[in-house]
Chains A and B, each alone.
Chain A
């Protein structure tokens, strides 16, 4: 088997090697500072608000955001931008409802918050299940995306590309934990912002720094058969589906475990809140620049560039970079392509590392410590060891599924599913645990179950998945939504309510809602806070 596909981009290889070398050096540095669970899961809560804002951006902006949205705008125009708006506004949800409260109430995982005042084992199991479901779908989607992109951009074989991504991702997480992951994400965010800013300047330079001229040129470059439009409706043709997608985007981010655990890495709630604002500005700026890339690709590559841009237009941004650098075969063109390819690779690595870390936390801190060991005090060492083994296992499974499923796996379907589950299962349970006095264990378990099951079921019966991409109408004639949010999110909340009403009253439980409420709002007793300078020991095992 040949490791390399037809042509290998040498410039890309050199830049890749440089970026990978840098991340490995950081991992080595971080591994020397590893002292226990606190550093492995939460980087010793030593990350500043600004650093965390960068890291959130690095954690959040996946290849789907960079290459995917630029490609969607290139092919469909306005509808691609609709995603950007949803992805960004979602941070208001995170900031107003969850950021500080998460930091004040939790330790390492979102299950900490959910199980704070509920019956520990079922609540933790439910939260861990939600976390693992989201992380699994998102991770496999990113791995497949990585394989496809690296194959196209550098020339590696698909399986080799997936394996390479997986190995580096596991290196960061296993040896460097949260500290290494954070710095990989920070570097990625800087590379991505610098890369997209330079590209945008090149694009705008070609139209005399007049964005309106860019839109005009993009529109002139449409042919009768093209799908591009400066107005909505070319990609998202069904209005109700657009609304459904919009709901999942704006609430889904507030249920993404790899984003929420970032708030545990800062010293206090204030830093958590500031870091969201930093991330908002970086991510907002990024999405505005993405439109210049997408419209620029349309203006300069035109309809002829659509085929070269591959599925979903994912290669529009790299192809545009090549064009801006001087075109195919020129040194400038190859170099610019190589830089953007390396940025895309770093982008993927930072996201998958965050995902694996959140999943390993759910296994080690929630399932192992609380469910297998039944909450008996564990040594830090054991928790970290279990987390490392879990990360290796999760990584290996994701690599295997990505390679076996291959390029045939539908990436956007899995990302959509991850957001749907996050918005329908994790978000309702978290929000209600923090704000609703009456909420109880049965409510949390039912809510998560309703959210997970309804999202997966509705995505499976959506017309594009079953019978298939080109089918007319769905399996069930009356149901033709591609995005389940508008049904599954209310179902998640309904599940929380129903379970609460049917379950037994827990308002008098050992750790009360009052304690969680005061703690989450004031930071009193929060992990590593000034008011609680020493570790709060995990709750004693629940008496059965």
Chain B
């Protein structure tokens, strides 16, 4: 087989338990879990208000601009901000950690390959 991840007989179980991989998972979770909770809460807060607080959403902030429209715009801002934050963190934090975890798994695999 030409696939190096098979050639080197990666021990996936060991790779999954390696401290490097655990670091990656922990780092990603620290952002993705609160991020997901936040965006779902903000989004469903908006949806619930649109469903159950129609008068509030229809009230005017400034002339024809309603609370509902402003809150809808905050959703757009949220998507942009969370998207860029994730992108930045992924490039600066997760990618190096992922590369490290992958390298450790490959090295361990080669080591094993030589011994057997």
Contact = CB atoms under 8 A, between A and B. Distances in A.
A280 B80 contact: yes
Contacts of A216: 63-64
Interface string B74-116: 0110111011101100110001001101100110000000000
B76 A88 contact: yes
Q: How large is the interface on A (under 10, 10 to 19, 20 to 34, 35 or more residues)?
A: 35 or more
Contacts of A284: 76, 79-80
B21 A518 contact: yes
Contacts of A215: 63-66, 69
Nearest to B90: A273
A512 B4 CA distance: 18
Contacts of B36: 92-93, 96-97
B16 A518 contact: yes
B10 to A, nearest CB: 8
Contacts of B80: 280-281, 284
B102 A524 contact: yes
A280 B80 CA distance: 7
Q: Is the interface of A mostly helix, strand, loop or mixed?
A: helix
Nearest to B48: A243
A523 interface: yes
A85 B43 contact: yes
B86 A96 contact: yes
Given A242-B51, A273-B90, A230 B64 contact: yes
Nearest to B17: A514
A216 B63 CA distance: 7
Interface stretch (A176-184, A335-343, A367-375, A534-542): A534-542
A514 B51 contact: no
A26 interface: no
Given A230-B58, A232-B58, A514-B15, A288 B68 contact: no
A238 B63 CA distance: 27
B32 A96 contact: yes
Contacts of B91: 270
Contacts of A523: 98, 102
A212 B63 contact: yes
A517 B105 CA distance: 13
A250 B72 contact: no
Interface in B1-47: 1-6, 10, 12-13, 15-16, 21, 24-25, 28, 32, 35-36, 39-40, 43-44, 46-47
> Which of B66, B78, B101 is the most central at the interface, judged by chain A CB atoms within 10 Å of its CB?
B66
Interface string A219-262: 10000000001111100101111110010001000000000000
B3 A522 contact: no
A471 to B, nearest CB: 22
Given A231-B68, A521-B21, A522-B21, A531 B57 contact: no
B68 A277 contact: no
A315 interface: no
Given A85-B43, A215-B63, A215-B65, A531 B102 contact: yes
A512 B68 contact: no
Contact of A250 (B43, B62, B83, B99): B43
Contact of B3 (A85, A89, A517, A537): A537
A412 interface: no
A95 B66 contact: no
A518 B55 CA distance: 50
A531 B102 CA distance: 9
Given A89-B39, A96-B32, A231 B21 contact: no
A243 B3 contact: no
B69 A230 contact: yes
B15 to A, nearest CB: 5
Nearest to A81: B72
Interface of A: 78-79, 81-82, 84-86, 88-89, 91-93, 95-97, 211-216, 218-219, 229-233, 236, 238-243, 246, 250, 270, 273-274, 276-277, 280-281, 284, 287-288, 291, 512, 514-515, 517-519, 521-525, 531-537
Interface of B: 1-6, 10, 12-13, 15-16, 21, 24-25, 28, 32, 35-36, 39-40, 43-44, 46-48, 50-52, 54-55, 57-60, 62-66, 68-69, 72-73, 75-76, 78-80, 82-84, 86-87, 90-91, 95, 98-99, 101-102, 105-106
28 contacts: A82-B47, A85-B72, A86-B43, A88-B79, A89-B43, A95-B83, A96-B32, A96-B36, A97-B32, A212-B63, A232-B68, A233-B58, A239-B52, A243-B47, A273-B87, A274-B87, A276-B83, A284-B80, A512-B13, A518-B16, A518-B102, A521-B25, A521-B28, A521-B98, A522-B102, A532-B4, A535-B2, A536-B3
Given A284-B79, A514-B15, 17 more contacts: A78-B57, A78-B66, A84-B72, A86-B43, A89-B75, A95-B83, A212-B65, A214-B64, A215-B64, A216-B64, A277-B84, A514-B12, A518-B12, A518-B15, A524-B102, A537-B1, A537-B3
